[in-house]
Amino acid sequence: MRPHTIPVELLEPIFSFACTDSGQTGCALNATSKTFRSVCLRSSIDIQCAAVYGRAKIRRFLDIINLRERLVVRSVLLKGDFDGAIFAPGADNEVGRECAHLILSVLYALPPAHLRILHILSYDSDRVEQPISSPTGSIRQGLSYAPACLPISFPSLVDLSLTMPLHHVDFYNTFNARTPALRSLRLQVTPHAFGAMLAREFPDLRDLAIECVRAGPGPRDLQWYLHEYCRPTHEYPQRSAPREVQVHLQHYLTTEGVSIVPASYHHGDWQTDFVEGVMLHWRPDEKGLVSVQRLGVGDGSDGEKSEEQPVKIVSDDARTVVVFPPALVPPSRIQGVRLREEWEMSKKVWSLAMGRWGVIG
């Protein structure tokens, strides 16, 4: 049967099942025939799932969706590139801010009702704050609280991965954005008042994973969040906090691509350093209510070294933090290889999220 004799009513569901990869199938369908391209342009089925890497391709993707009248985009992976960026103390990273601007342009162009998976990586955000009253029980009084992770409400979004809260001065920043259906969040940079932000914006969050580039005591805002999350006899955070938080320590890469981890990791006591940082301001009686465990501790027959073992902190009401050490194999020092490996890993995580939440398969 020739393509033009197949009823459009059949082509659309067929294309819908086919276009669940990162966009290659949609591109191939557009190039197959005028009939297929017409179906794609009319229905936008070819871009219901899209993975886009780099500023040039994100601009092209933005041009495409701005020309479509009917958009049903369910899953998106956007990753900026830092070609031409200047990494120097005090330098304003215009390239990273350009990535944020392009990504926000795409998000504002998408109908929010259909989007279920959103992974956006590699950008720099403008700092946006608004002074508001501190939540009841918070130990951090008199501070400005950060706005939403996203300045747009996505009612159907269930899986979100971010480098950091996404903002740019050219876009309206709302403190009222909500993503009520979100179940899974992965974040690399935690803002201050993170617990209050999570409770306000993601009231049904279940899975929280934080990537941290330091293997000793965590960065200040992450440390404060875990301090309040785990602290016994404390009424903060709110009830909506996830029951478990995973922290994945990462290798820190210099501008030359050299991987660095603190000396405490090599000495095998990074677990102690991290836990002490979280409990720094706790009373002695509070420390006694918390269980600290090194996971995977056995008789040593498996050859596992102490610095390779995750550490678990369990509060008195069973809230749990699990901290994982950096990967045994550091990232490649060759920039092109490293960036390609990171992109492939980003696509793999994104594809697994689509399978988990039934967007594909």
- Asked if the model's pLDDT at residue 301 lies above 50, the reply is no
Q: How many CA within 13 A on the CB side of residue 103?
A: 34
The string of pLDDT tens digits covering residues 18-36 is: 666 656 666 666 666 666 6
Look at residue 71 in the predicted model and tell me its pLDDT.
84
Q: Read off the pLDDT of residues 211-256 as tens digits, 9 standing for 90 and up.
A: 886 544 557 778 888 888 887 666 555 555 788 999 998 877 665 6
Question: How big is the chain by its Cα radius of gyration, in Å?
Answer: 22
Model confidence at 299: pLDDT above 60:
no
Instruction: Output the pLDDT for position 214.
Output: 58
Residue 302 pLDDT exceeds 60: no
What are the CA-CA distances from residue 349 to residues 154, 249, 256, 342 (Å)? Answer: 21, 17, 26, 11
Q: Tell me what pLDDT residue 146 has.
A: 59
* Residue 359 pLDDT > 70: yes
SS3 at position 230: helix
**CA gap 73, 275 in Å, rounded:** 42
User: Which pLDDT band holds residue 161 (cuts at 50, 70, 90)?
Assistant: very high
Note the pLDDT of residue 59: 96
Q: What is the DSSP string of 115-147?
A: --EEEEES-------EE-PPPTT-S--S-EEP-
The mean pLDDT value of the chain amounts to: 78
Specify whether the CB–CB gap between 3 and 32 falls below 8 A.
Answer: yes
pLDDT surpassing 70 at residue 107: yes
Tens digit of pLDDT for each residue in 10-22?
666 666 666 666 5
* Nearest-angstrom CA–CA distance, 247 and 210: 5
Band of the pLDDT at 4, cuts 50, 70, 90? low
CA–CA gap between residue 84 and residue 63 (Å, rounded)? 23
* 93-121: average pLDDT: 92
Calpha distance 231→327 (Å, rounded): 28
3-state DSSP call for residue 14?
helix
* Per-range mean pLDDT, top range of 131-135, 171-175, 272-276: 272-276
Residues 171-188 have a mean pLDDT of 88
Residues paired with residue 322 on neighbouring β-strands, in sequence order: 246, 312
Greater pLDDT, 297 or 358: 358
Q: Are 138 and 95 in contact (CB under 8 A)?
A: no
pTM, 2 dp:
0.83
